Amino acid sequence: MLSHDAAEPAGQTHSDPNADGLAGVLAAHDTVRIVAARTTHLVATASQLHDCSPTVAAAFGRLLTGAALMGASLRGPERVTLQISCDGPVRGLVADAAAGGAIRGYPLAPRAERPLTTCGKFDVGGIVGRGFLHVTRTFAIGLPYTSATPLVSGEIGEDLAYFCAQSDQIPSVVAVGVLANPSGILAAGGFIAQLLPGAREEDMHVLERTVRHMPHPSSLIRQGLRPEQIALAVGAGLAPRITHRAHLRFACTCSRDRVTRMLIGLGHDDLRELGERSQPTEVVCNVCRRRYTFTPAEIRALHVAADSADGTRDTLTSG
């Protein structure tokens, strides 16, 4: 259960042409499942959108990477949402993965900060503190299902591994990390390795030994390794084979249409008040910080629409 980040001295920049993505691997006669991800660009995008402090960017980047890893096999309308509720300065973090590699999320207190640890690392455990990790899975049919485990250390990787072992009953190793300097995110990524039913004890020992001696994934990504190379390296000695590859990107599901429906759902009194103002109404998405502006005339038109949609307001706002 590795989980570390490092702060690099200023002035060192590194551009990498590779896009974000993930690779899935099965090993040890399909009894070990490994997913590795490179999330550098999406973590950088998310951190910039939310104007995160360096330590929040590290914590948020780890959780976004965790969502990408846990959402690797999603299909159709399925989603997995990781939510940390905590008593540390960041107060809470949300990261969500949808099929097709769309990752999004937000921190509750993006500007919270903690000094670097004595070894020069981001104090992710300190900025998160104590609390719970909630994992919500949304399926193609039926209601979403949420389960939660207490945070082990607030370092995210350990907390995700603990959740998988306790709640999903799947022994797992999770390593997630963000490498950054004062000018921004240099590399981000991670891997998850899980023992499936029928896994042999000797294979587990091989995996443990490999992981213990591996450099941290954010360092490997900084060196230019691709997700499939990292996943194969984790499964070394266990006859690993690549099962899938996918792109990853930061993507929000908000739209002007959704915001319009939300405004209609406010009801008569609020819409009348907004329509009577001389200033436009601005709605900011809390996930991607995109701004949607509505003129007073547009708001008044929505007010008329709200009148005719009166009986169906609950339906309109539930999406």
32 touching Zn ion, by CB under 5 A? no
**Residue 56 and residue 113 in contact, taking contact as beta carbons nearer than 8 Å:** yes
**Residue 86 and residue 28 in contact, taking contact as beta carbons nearer than 8 Å:** no
288 touching Zn ion, by CB under 5 A? yes
| Site track for Zn ion across 159-198, x = CB under 5 A | ----------------------------------------
List the interface residues with Zn ion, window 267-286 (CB under 5 A). Answer: 285
Q: How far is the CB of 269 from Zn ion (least distance, A)?
A: 26
**Residue 77 and residue 140 in contact, taking contact as beta carbons nearer than 8 Å:** yes
Q: How far is the CB of 253 from Zn ion (least distance, A)?
A: 7
- 33 or 50: CB nearest Zn ion: 50
- 103 or 285: CB nearest Zn ion: 285
- 28 or 263: CB nearest Zn ion: 263
| Site track for Zn ion across 240-269, x = CB under 5 A | ------------x-x---------------
56 touching Zn ion, by CB under 5 A? no
Sign of the dihedral defined by the CA atoms of residues 24, 28, 29, 33, in that order: negative
- 220 or 285: CB nearest Zn ion: 285
- 121 or 258: CB nearest Zn ion: 258
What does the binding site for Zn ion look like in residue numbers (CB under 5 A)?
A: 252, 254, 285, 287-288, 290
